[in-house]
Amino acid sequence: METHDSTKPGFTINSGMQVKTLKHDFLEEFCLGIRVYKRYGRQFADDEVTLAAIRNDEFKGTEFSPDSNSKISTIQDKIMELFGFKVEMCGSVYHYLCRSELTLLEAKEADNKYILEKESKLNKAVINDEISHPIHKLYRITSLEKKSVVFRIEVSDETNRSFAVEEHYRWGQGFREINDPVLDSDITKLKKVRCINGIGWGAEWDDLVMVDFDWGDSATNKFSEKEKKSIKAYWEKNKKDDQGRSGHYWLLEGDHNWHTNPLAPNGFVEIYAPVKIDIVDAGNCVALEENIAPNK
């Protein structure tokens, strides 16, 4: 396999290019895949839209030329800074996520080695589907009914005041680690499966239906109507802080006293019953076993 150094001048990401063009050109230039998400990573961006169409209004960057000797984490941060959406680098063929501490050149070399090793083992009919890159098994939970997926993020301050935001979607998915199976009681008693947002390859939200704000116990939380209105305005992106932050970005990175739940700093994904449970390989984004029964 060719292992030339991808340092050709001229490769530039600009806000007018389509998502599919970025994916194609990035693969051609660096021999790696790139995943493009809608803003902060809850859903993949449409291949047909331009980069400008998925970024937030406050982001003014128009061009960026990544270098093969730059770390993946640096490139990801720079694209978020300039364009306002999340990207991740992945393998050129098998689409596992690349380690962010590697440079693009190092990741390409590691990918070449991985492909050769995998193809060699596949040619020998590897027993039990074991491949050179270890399979990362997860449970994937999807709803069998529409309007049954909720993104919930919980925050509190030093005085123990707390609130939560819930976004209700028509469709989405959640993931659990393989040592955290779905229990029968989740389905029969709780009527929902709660997952930590950020596990797996993305919740892939589709079609926001409504947004709820849970202000908790009014006797202990004591939010004024003015404060509630201000928090809602920030979350719904009708208001920005001094750094131009709003929405999820404001809550996670803004200059305020709110802190997200340490058990799920990026929130929870709640899938309401009835649900479908599959075992998937997170590295390759493929299903290994479908329609798994919950544990008793």
Q: Tell me: the pLDDT tens digits for 27-77?
A: 999 999 999 988 666 678 888 888 888 875 566 567 889 999 999 999 999
Mean pLDDT of 236-253: 85
The closest of 268, 238, 235 to 250, measured between CA atoms, is: 235
- Contact between 270 and 194 under an 8 Å Cβ cutoff? The reply is yes
**b/e per residue, 28-62, with b = 16+ CB within 10 A?**
ebbbbbbbbbbbbbbbebeeeebbeebbbeebebe
pLDDT value at position 5?
A: 42
Using CA of residue 285, residue 288, residue 293, residue 296, what is the dihedral sign?
A: negative
In this predicted structure, the answer to whether residue 10 has a pLDDT above a threshold of 90 is no
pLDDT value at position 41?
A: 63
Q: Where are the domains of the chain?
A: 13-129, 137-289
| Integer Cα distance of 73 and 77 in angstroms | 6
Residue 135 has φ and ψ, to the nearest 5°, of -70, 130
| Integer Cα distance of 269 and 149 in angstroms | 7
Q: Within 10 Å of residue 225's Cβ, how many Cβ atoms?
A: 7
| Integer Cα distance of 198 and 175 in angstroms | 8
pLDDT value at position 162?
A: 92
- Residues 18, 151, 192: CA angle, nearest 5 degrees: 130
Upstream peptide bond of 274 is cis (omega within 30 degrees of 0): yes
The closest of 168, 196, 175 to 264, measured between CA atoms, is: 196
Give helix then strand counts, H and E, for the chain: 8, 14
- Contact between 160 and 171 under an 8 Å Cβ cutoff? The reply is no
Beta bridge partners of 177: 138
pLDDT value at position 126?
A: 43
pLDDT value at position 8?
A: 42
Please tell me which residue, 191 or 43, carries the higher pLDDT value. Answer: 191
In this predicted structure, the answer to whether residue 270 has a pLDDT above a threshold of 90 is yes
pLDDT value at position 171?
A: 87
Mean pLDDT of 16-35: 92
In this predicted structure, the answer to whether residue 207 has a pLDDT above a threshold of 90 is no
